[in-house]
Amino acid sequence: MLPIDAAAHSSRWRRRHPVDKAVLGLGLTVLAISLPPWPGAALVIVTALTVLLGPAGVPPRRLWRAYRIPLGFCVSGALTLLVQVGAPEGFVTLDPEGPARAAGLLLRTSAASLGVLLFAFTTPMSDLLPRLVKAGVPAAVVDVALVTYRMSFLLLDSMTRIRQAQAARLGHTTRAATWRSLAGLGATAFVRAFDRASRLQAGLAGRGYDGTLRVLVPEARVSPRFVAAALTLLAAVAAVALTLHHVLERPLG
């Protein structure tokens, strides 16, 4: 199991309905995109970190391990705004407005990523996917997503064991040996994926599969109090951000 999935299953908000957490987490994502980068996205970052490390109870180290990957994409995307191509001064030159644009993009994307992580760290996929059928998603699509989600962990576990076996047999001592080991790993994972899929199909057929996977979903109800508190928090963040933006943009004198 991936660290983010383990954190979601052990989250303090595990028993809450996904709609409760979607209102807060995805609401922060929408604010990060729609509000001015400064101070709107900065306030979203502070709010998301406060909720993640506070009420949600996400360990800081586990949050950083999951956040550093999207943060890397955010930084790499922002760096491209520092230069301009085809300017009169040269083919590739520094953009005078690049730092401001890069900072704004970095604030927006990093804040939006934290909003998504807030939902991911508190909502296991096994709780979310079965409920999508009631939201209008076709049952066949949900079934494929469930099977893919569950089989991915089995394949990751198999690949980890194969790599450990290769390392124990000195399969990574040289560059040539590493490439041979990677090729063997890919081939073995491919064969095992097809073997697991075949056994899954045979097992479903033996259990009278009629086109729908029936799974047990933990009982949970949408909490009006939690949703109201989340909407109040979102409204407060938006109001403070717009007020500060108006004050900062007001000319002096």
Phi, psi of 85 (to 5 degrees): -115, 135
The structure tokens listed for 144 are: 């494929």
**Alpha-carbon span 112 to 25, nearest angstrom:** 9
Token pair 């230069």 is at which residue? 83
CB 106 within 8 A of CB 74: yes
What pTM was estimated for this model as a whole? 0.76
Q: 108: how many CB neighbours lie within 10 A of its CB?
A: 21
Cα separation values, 210 from 35, 54, 199, 204, Å:
47, 45, 17, 9
DSSP 64: H
**Alpha-carbon span 117 to 129, nearest angstrom:** 17
| pLDDT values of the chain reduced to their tens digit, one per residue, 253 residues | 577 777 887 888 888 888 888 899 999 999 999 988 888 889 999 999 999 988 888 888 888 888 888 889 889 888 888 887 766 776 677 777 778 888 888 999 999 999 999 998 888 887 787 777 777 777 778 777 877 777 777 788 888 888 888 888 888 888 888 888 888 888 888 888 888 878 877 877 777 766 666 666 677 788 889 999 999 999 999 999 888 878 777 664 4
Q: What angle do CA 247, 249, 250 make, to 5 degrees?
A: 65
**Alpha-carbon span 45 to 49, nearest angstrom:** 6
What ranges do the domains of the chain cover? 3-123+223-249, 148-206
